[in-house]
């Protein structure tokens, strides 16, 4: 559990301070999506939901214009991944890839609708949605496996 909290703090600070520097065609990677799926898949629900709630809340405090949507969507992704883990989720590339694509579509569709309604410009959904989903799905797959690798490493300090 301590490693999950540490991953969350590191990824939250990375998302807030460094993710915009890694923008690809103006699209900022969202590492918290992969972290949310990782917690749902590999941590017990009694730990994963409070950890992702606090992580999402920390991200929403930095970006108050989102009105708490990050926290809600990250909690939903973590919860649904935890439910799916019981039946279909194994760390196979195809399963993780499809799941990553589905939760990125869900996340960016909700945010696209939110920003389109906020700015009264429906072009945002169509202009950014497809590329954003593909790029963030690839990043989510890589980060998911990286977090899985880190959680399986046993480091002993003597």
Could you give the CA distance from residue 9 to residue 16 in angstroms, rounded to a whole number? 11
Give Cβ neighbours of residue 32 (< 8 Å, ≥ 6 apart): 11, 12, 15, 55, 56, 59, 70, 74
Q: What are phi and psi of 73, to 5 degrees?
A: -70, -40
Q: How many CB atoms lie under 10 A from the CB of residue 158?
A: 2
Helix axes 123-152, 93-119, angle to 10 degrees: 140
Helices 45-62 + 2-13 axis angle, to 10? 20
Q: Is the dihedral of CA 84, 90, 95, 101 positive or negative?
A: positive
| DSSP assignments along 12-48, one per residue | HHIIIIIGGGG-BTTB---HHHHHHHHHHHHS-HHHH
pLDDT of residue 122: 67
pLDDT value of residue 125: 64
Domain ranges of the chain: 2-152
Contact 33, 50 (CB under 8 A): no
Give per-residue pLDDT as tens, 48-93: 888 888 888 888 888 877 778 888 888 888 888 887 776 665 667 7
Q: Is the pLDDT of residue 114 over 70?
A: yes
pLDDT, residue 158, reads 62
pLDDT, position 157: 59
- Tens-digit pLDDT profile for residues 6-63: 777 888 788 888 777 777 777 778 888 888 888 888 777 778 888 888 888 888 888 8
């Amino acid at each position: 559990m301590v490693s999950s909290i540490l991953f969350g703090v590191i990824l939250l600070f990375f998302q807030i301070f460094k993710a915009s520097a890694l923008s690809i065609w103006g699209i900022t990677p969202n590492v918290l999506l992969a972290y949310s799926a990782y917690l749902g898949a590999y941590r017990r629900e009694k730990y994963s939901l409070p950890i992702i709630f606090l992580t999402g809340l920390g991200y929403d405090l930095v970006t108050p214009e989102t009105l708490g949507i990050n926290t809600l969507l990250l909690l939903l992704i973590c919860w649904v991944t935890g439910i799916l883990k019981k039946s279909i989720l194994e760390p196979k590339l195809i399963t993780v890839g499809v799941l990553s694509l589905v939760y990125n579509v869900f996340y960016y569709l909700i945010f696209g609708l939110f920003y389109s309604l906020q700015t009264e410009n429906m072009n945002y959904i169509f202009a950014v949605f497809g590329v954003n989903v593909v790029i963030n799905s690839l990043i989510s797959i890589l980060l998911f496996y990286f977090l899985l690798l880190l959680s399986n490493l046993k480091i002993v300090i003597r």
